[in-house]
């Protein structure tokens, strides 16, 4: 085993340090496997309930009328998330598109959008109009209000109560941390927040940005009161097989609004060809609980490795996990870049290239991204990225298998050792 790791340029010293960290993780990994087993059975039960058959994998083109596979898959998603309806389409290009679609279809001029969990993910700033952009919500007369989390990461309930007014139509709750050094929200916390909001104004639509959180716990936000959950199929629920796509699950009214915005008023869910990728959608969703478990093990391993080297890790090495993302603050740009170089070097695709910071569309800082993925931009596959700004945090996620996630972390550590940014000789 040591010989093959040496073939990847990983020293015995780094391997030994990694092995030392893994010895303490047996119980954590067992808990993750139990959640994966539960969610695997949940998905299987939904597929059996809706009689998924070989015919569901057939292709459709053009209008896509009477696409049995597409319609059945949406019933499967609705069952798993325990919602009235679902929209699962390849025509939804990414997570930001899914979120924009959910917001734009359920808000009208004069309405106000509220974020009670602080600043949204960078790419949503232009959707909302925090940073001016063509077609933003602000251009349509939709206003935005924000309540920051308290210093300890908890909700500012007093501030939220004051922010809700007669124009507050929709609340957006970002489950994951995005590019912020704040805790990810558990489903239980999200449920408490939704209950508090609906006690003030029952007709508010509560939408959860569920990206990176699917199948991490045994329940999803729609099971604790969310009117909509939104996500990307090239993250958790696609299982690494979906080549594109996004989903919106929730109340029938919210999903129908989104469908009519995605296609056309009067057409809604009736059109939208599956173009021969239904089998990937089904099989990816079936594998997703196990794939997510591997990614979670990688995240916990990364936290243990880098916390023991003195870096700030969010979550830390012992905290519960509510998404697949591990944030590690390297404090220096050289540390962030070296780690991302290691992740890229461990990839099955484009391992020979070196990632560099660049002015990425939708972001206000240069961003470095490492992702040698089978699907471009797939962050359920092994990847790491981060903005070139203090505290120079790498956001590590994914790994279709635990073994690949482990290799990526060791390779990232090796790059830091080689650059003399860390010294592990006294810790092995």
Indicate if the pLDDT at residue 361 is higher than 80. Answer: no
Q: Which CATH class is domain 2-39+286-418?
A: alpha beta
User: Is the pLDDT reported for residue 282 higher than 60?
Assistant: yes
Domain layout of the chain by residue ranges: 2-39+286-418, 60-280
Task: Render pLDDT for 8-42 as a digit per residue (tens, 0 to 9).
Answer: 999 999 999 999 999 999 999 999 999 999 999 99
Q: Residue 87: which of 297, 209, 263, 236 has the closest Cα?
A: 263
Looking at residue 426, its pLDDT comes to 62
d(C-alpha 413, C-alpha 1), whole Å: 18
% of the chain residues with pLDDT over 70: 99
**CB distance 309 to 425 below 8 Å:** no
Mean pLDDT on 407-412: 98
The C-alpha atoms of residue 340 and residue 334 are separated, in whole angstroms, by: 10
pLDDT at 181 over 90: no
Asked if pLDDT for residue 200 goes beyond 70, the answer is yes
Tell me: pLDDT of 427 over 70: no
Asked if pLDDT for residue 265 goes beyond 90, the answer is yes
Q: Do domains 2-39+286-418 and 60-280 have the same CATH topology?
A: no
Asked whether the predicted pLDDT for residue 123 surpasses 80, the reply is: yes
Q: Please state which architecture CATH assigns to domain 60-280.
A: 3-Layer(aba) Sandwich (3.40)
Q: Is residue 363 over pLDDT 80?
A: no
Cα–Cα distance for residue pair 134/150, rounded to 1 Å: 33
Q: Tell me the sheet residues that pair with 89.
A: 246
44 pLDDT more than 60: yes
The phi, psi pair for 308, rounded to 5°, reads -70, -15
Packing angle, helices 252-262 and 95-106, rounded to 10? 110
């Amino acid at each position: 085993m040591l010989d093959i790791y040496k073939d990847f340029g990983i020293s015995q010293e780094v391997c030994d340090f990694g092995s030392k960290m893994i010895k303490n993780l047996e119980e954590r990994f067992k808990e993750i496997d139990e959640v994966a087993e539960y969610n695997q059975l949940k998905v299987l039960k939904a597929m059996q309930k809706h009689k998924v058959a070989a015919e569901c994998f057939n292709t459709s083109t053009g209008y896509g009328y009477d696409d049995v596979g597409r319609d059945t898959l949406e019933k499967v998603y609705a069952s798993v998330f325990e919602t009235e309806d679902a929209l699962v389409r390849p025509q939804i290009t990414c997570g930001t598109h899914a979120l924009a679609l959910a917001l734009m279809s359920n808000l009208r001029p004069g309405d106000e959008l509220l974020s009670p969990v602080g600043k949204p993910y960078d790419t949503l700033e232009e959707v909302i109009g925090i940073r001016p952009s063509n077609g933003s919500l602000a251009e349509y007369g939709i206003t935005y209000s924000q309540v920051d989390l308290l210093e300890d990461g908890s909700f500012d309930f007093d501030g939220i109560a004051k922010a809700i007014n007669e124009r507050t139509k929709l609340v957006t709750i970002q489950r994951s941390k995005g590019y912020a050094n704040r805790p990810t929200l558990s489903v239980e916390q999200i449920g408490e927040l939704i209950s508090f909001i609906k006690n003030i104004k029952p007709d508010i639509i509560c939408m959860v940005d569920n990206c990176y959180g699917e199948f991490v716990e045994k329940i999803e936000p729609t099971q604790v009161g969310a009117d909509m959950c939104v996500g990307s199929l090239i993250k958790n629920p696609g299982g690494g097989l979906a080549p594109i796509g996004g989903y919106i699950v929730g109340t029938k009214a919210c999903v129908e609004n989104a469908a009519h915005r995605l296609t056309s008023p009067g057409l809604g869910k009736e059109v939208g060809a599956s173009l021969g990728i239904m089998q990937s959608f089904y099989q990816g969703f079936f594998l997703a609980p196990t794939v997510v478990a591997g990614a979670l093990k990688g995240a916990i391993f990364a936290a243990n490795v880098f916390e023991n080297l003195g870096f700030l890790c969010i979550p830390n090495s012992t905290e519960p996990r509510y998404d697949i993302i591990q944030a590690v603050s390297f404090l220096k740009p050289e540390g962030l870049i070296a780690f991302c170089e290691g992740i890229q070097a461990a990839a099955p695709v484009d391992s020979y290239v070196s990632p560099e910071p660049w002015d990425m569309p939708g972001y206000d800082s240069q961003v470095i991204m490492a992702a040698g993925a089978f699907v471009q931009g797939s962050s359920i596959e092994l990847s790491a990225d981060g903005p070139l700004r203090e505290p120079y945090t790498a956001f590590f996620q994914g790994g279709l298998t635990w073994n690949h996630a482990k290799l990526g972390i060791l390779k990232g550590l090796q790059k830091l050792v080689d650059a003399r940014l860390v010294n592990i000789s006294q810790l092995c």
